Chain A
Amino acid sequence: MDLFNFQTPRSIPELIAAKNSANAWLLAGGTDLIPQLKEDRRKAETIIDVKKIAAMTNISAEQDGGLNIGAAVTATTIAQSEIVCASYPALAYSVALIGSRQVQNRASLGGNVCNAAPSADAVPALMSYGALANIEGTKGKRSLMVEEIFTGPGRTVLEQDEVLASITLPALPENTAAVYQRFTPRREMDIAVAGVSSRITLDANSKIVDAKIALASVGPTPLRAKAAEMTLIGEVPSLKLFEAAGAAAASDASPIDDTRGSADYRRHLVSVLCRRTLASATKELIQGDLP
């Protein structure tokens, strides 16, 4: 590892000014960046610790009922947050899958997003909830849907003078539930071979009026399964419907063969996990067995 400048800005404008130079990288949890630096897979002239910026380390309720989570908030803080557990349980569950307890004590939500791993555990749940990524830079602020941030493995739309400041989870309508599940050969400390987050909203007649399904580890970026979502809208939950959605999600996926699994196996996993997550989200909303 080469020597680098180390900076600890106290505000977002200070952070943007520090980042706006060549080979400047943000350090939050460091769970990806530090191993990359150690193995000389990444060169850094400046490392910027974001954990001392108060505006990025808070969880705050929005006036409209949504929730704003600073990009530097740790996975542990999110997993233990009463409001996240009550309103966005799929996110609380997902962040507790990142590495181990000691990693979660350091890892940040913003890092999990900006690292842009197709397998990032917190991302599918954010996408299912329709979360926004709030970006700030020298030219001002912009907000994108979380899925619009990714351009490829490890790559995002963020410019050199821009940082992810926070994530906004919108207020959810009544009768909404989301569930994330992933498949790993080991139960703990592993990277998803495939993961699916399914969110549905039902109307008073138990018809599905909104569905957002997000897939992990089955494409160059986390993906929305739009064909699967379309099969669900306007329908009443049933096992047959969820089988069909699973089949559609498998075609929405564009996986590759690698050491963790073949493309065919990943497609199969997507169809199974999609069906299971939909069934389990429905169980939170409707009593009794699915028709």
Chain B
Amino acid sequence: MPSISLTLNGRSVSGEVETKTLLVDYIRENQKLTGTHVGCDTSQCGSCVVHVDGKSVKSCTMLAVQVDGSEVTTIEGLATGEELHPMQEAFRQNHGLQCGFCTPGMVMSAVDLVAGNPDISETEIREGLEGNICRCTGYHNIVKSVQAGAKAMGG
């Protein structure tokens, strides 16, 4: 079995992993970080979005061996202690979630989407979140949350 080393939410982790292990399974099963969800498992719904080297990716469509040497951030890595990340706080303040299943993926996508763009428009947000599906269809407040989060992050 190959061995991988990566930085996961700021912490160095390493270990053996089967080549066929998907990144999302590695995160949930091996690392016991269950904030990253599995929805469609086919790269469509976006509930498994994490950051690899700062870019949002769908972790159901990557192999764990592909992140050897990379920095991976999951929803658990956003907050600083008890203090929520500005995007998480914006989702809370703007009721940007209903059942909450899509939320970790929405937040991770949003953080990547608004980076460097504090005044992102509604159209840009809606287009940018094309790969994140909310089955409660709560998009209105998600867009409001992302706009507020972008301002709070200051780009």
Contact = CB atoms under 8 A, between A and B. Distances in A.
Interface stretch (B8-16, B37-45, B142-150): B37-45
Contact of B131 (A6, A38, A100): A100
A100 B130 contact: yes
A102 B20 CA distance: 21
A207 interface: no
B134 interface: no
Given A3-B18, A6-B19, A188-B130, A103 B2 contact: no
A76 B128 CA distance: 12
Given A6-B65, A189-B131, A47 B109 contact: no
Contacts of A5: 19
B93 interface: no
Interface in A1-52: 1-6, 8, 27, 30-31, 34-35, 37-38, 47, 49, 51
A105 B55 contact: yes
B131 A34 contact: no
Contacts of A260: none
Interface in B40-86: 41-44, 46, 49, 55-58, 61-63, 65-66, 68
A31 B109 CA distance: 17
Nearest to B20: A1
Interface size class of B (residues with CB under 8 A): 20 to 34
Contact of B43 (A4, A47, A103): A103
Contacts of B131: 99-103, 188-189
Contact of B19 (A4, A31, A103, A188): A4
B113 interface: yes
Nearest to A35: B42
A35 B68 CA distance: 21
Contacts of B113: 101
B18 A101 contact: no
A2 B20 contact: yes
Contacts of A226: none
Nearest to B126: A188
Nearest to B17: A6
Contacts of B46: 100, 102
Contact of A106 (B2, B41, B61): B61
A101 B130 contact: yes
A47 B56 contact: no
Given A31-B43, A100-B46, A100-B131, A3 B56 contact: no
A5 B109 CA distance: 31
Contacts of B63: 6, 27, 30, 34, 47
A51 to B, nearest CB: 8
A288 to B, nearest CB: 29
Given A35-B42, A49-B66, A102 B19 contact: no
A208 B9 CA distance: 57
A47 B19 contact: yes
A3 B58 CA distance: 21
A2 B63 CA distance: 13
A105 B115 CA distance: 15
Nearest to A100: B131
B62 A102 contact: no
Given A31-B61, A101-B56, 8 more contacts: A2-B20, A47-B63, A76-B55, A101-B113, A103-B58, A106-B57, A106-B61, A189-B130
Interface of A: 1-6, 8, 27, 30-31, 34-35, 37-38, 47, 49, 51, 76, 99-103, 105-106, 188-189
